[in-house]
Amino acid sequence: MKTTLTYNRSPSMPTLRLPAGACDAHVHVFGPAARFPFADGGSFTPEDAAKETLFALHRHLGIERCVIVQSLVHGLDNRVIEDAIEAGGGRYLGVALVPVDVADAELARLAKAGFRGVRFNFMKHLGASASVEEVVALTQRLAPLDMHLQVHFESSLVHALAAPLARSAVPVVIDHMGRVDAALGPAHADFSALHALMENPLFRIKVSGVDRISRTANYAQGLVLARRLVEDFPDRCFWGTDWPHPNHHHVPDDGVLVDLLAEIAPDAALLQRLLVDNPQAFYRFDA
């Protein structure tokens, strides 16, 4: 299978100066495949997007901290993130992919290695990783380890998933604004349900993916929803680039994504919470 470059090799230099300790709370690492083989059966074969490339990107963008999320590109083999965490000097943490019957000893090992949570997909194009009832049951075993649950679902599922996820024994982080269709606006039933879910303090949300949920080149539709979430839930939002942008309809410019933060969090206090205070309190980076 032909390899696919999913990221911009020469992102622009952002004009927005980020606060000290700024965190990119959602990225992935791919390979190098020679050391960390890709999982079989993937829908595409990406070009390597290794930790060294990620570290260089963050230096370019002015980002000092990061949460790396395990991708289906590497399946349930979380070693590629463990390697990046170890090289990150306390500034890089992880979220793992695990089966619902993962052993307690393995969860404890991951927590000790710098993984702060586990992620489950409820996306048709990725294949459901487990039932929501099984995932919620697992959270009872995450609680003693101070690990959270991260979920990735398509927008129509928010109505069915909201009630069972509210029974989680640990905080729940929602990926990419619930993948709502931003073109439908904030009054649409899916975004309204997502906003209602966020009234529960158990939930957090990543205002990443304005480039995924918008239908316009300037991502204006997604920015409206992201800003609404940040303003309404200022202490429970995180932001991320989603580098290296797998399963995307185009290759975004990460420098542009950083500059859009000026519209997502339009004052210094909101930006400080979104990029520094919220991720520090939740993910617990080394001082």
Residue ranges per structural domain of the chain? 17-283
Q: What is the pLDDT, as a whole number, of residue 127?
A: 59
Q: Which residues are catalytic?
A: 242
Q: What is the pLDDT, as a whole number, of residue 143?
A: 98
Above 80 in pLDDT, residue 2? no
Summary mean pLDDT of the chain: 95
Above 80 in pLDDT, residue 43? no
Q: What is the pLDDT, as a whole number, of residue 129?
A: 67
For the residues 216-245, what does the mean pLDDT come to?
97
Three-class secondary structure of residue 143 per DSSP: helix
Q: What is the pLDDT, as a whole number, of residue 3?
A: 84
Is the domain spanning 17-283 CATH 3.20.20.140? The answer is yes
For the residues 174-188, what does the mean pLDDT come to?
97
Specify the range with the lowest mean pLDDT, choosing from 34-38, 125-129, 181-185, 248-252. 125-129
Q: What is the pLDDT, as a whole number, of residue 45?
A: 85
Q: What is the pLDDT, as a whole number, of residue 287?
A: 62
Crossing angle for the helix pair 158-165 and 132-142, to the nearest 10 degrees: 30
Q: What is the pLDDT, as a whole number, of residue 125?
A: 54
Q: What is the pLDDT, as a whole number, of residue 1?
A: 57
- Torsion angle, alpha carbons of 159, 176, 142, 55, to 10: 170
